[in-house]
Structure 1
């Protein structure tokens, strides 16, 4: 299953050419991640930190008033980290594909921690093989 976040575009997001600036996509991914992890029904109560981002820019997103969809899903769950994948898109038109490695963190103790069983169950609900499918589709198109 995937989580979808409807991300509003802001006037300040554009660069001099009227496109959404590449750096702004990091903020979009952050907004989607917060919407996913910190919902009232499920959340990483002890916190988490980002260990790594990877972003592949596929096409320019021209600024407009309508929001853009960000689909997010889990691709890997380890003992003390997990990986999220994203697609920033409109329907079948993909602007960005990205991934983030997240490490659960105990801010009181100031150190990484293991994923709890409750968190693991939540993450499993959003495990999807969409990244593999997307890579296969790109290979066929090339």
Structure 2
């Protein structure tokens, strides 16, 4: 299992009145990491993987500690926790070394923009996603 690491710059406009990164900005950070993971990293030469469109069906975010604005990027680790026939769950940790600021997940549904409806994950997409698959432990 691998994790993709995206180094995300913190922008001045992301900061709230207290000097912390605003909670809404984290959604943009997760989006940037997910886009790099799925649309820049995944498609090989001539591959149509993930280029047909997708929609976000769900976000879950746990804010663990405030992230104070700074001039150095924060690392966002991205991996996959679930793959079904027509959706995938992407997980994230926004961190700096061992310090984790946010844990989150997004359910992404591949979407056929021309037909205006969800589509199935292709064999090529599934193969890519499985390289990053890390199942979550089930609490007992």
Instruction: Give the alignment partner of residue 73 of structure 2, picking from 63, 67, 70.
Output: 67
Compare the two structures and name the one with the higher helix fraction. Answer: 1
> Equivalent residue of 1:19, what SS?
coil
Compared CA separation, residues 49 and 32, structure 1 to 2 (3 A)? same
Q: What is the TM-score with the length of structure 2 in the denominator?
A: 0.91
| Alignment RMSD (CA, Å) | 1.5
1:87 aligns with 2:93: yes
Distance 1:25 1:67 in 2: 13
Runs ≥4 in structure 1, deviation > 4 angstroms? Answer: none
Contact 2:16 2:22 in 1 (8 A): yes
Q: CA deviation at 1:45?
A: 1.6
Compared CA separation, residues 40 and 59, structure 1 to 2 (3 A)? closer
1:45-124 pair list within 5 angstroms: 45-124=51-130
Q: CA deviation at 1:114?
A: 0.3
Distance 1:54 1:40 in 2: 24
Compared CA separation, residues 95 and 128, structure 1 to 2 (3 A)? same
Q: What is the TM-score with the length of structure 1 in the denominator?
A: 0.89
Distance 1:13 1:36 in 2: 22
Q: CA deviation at 1:40?
A: 5.9
Distance 1:101 1:67 in 2: 25
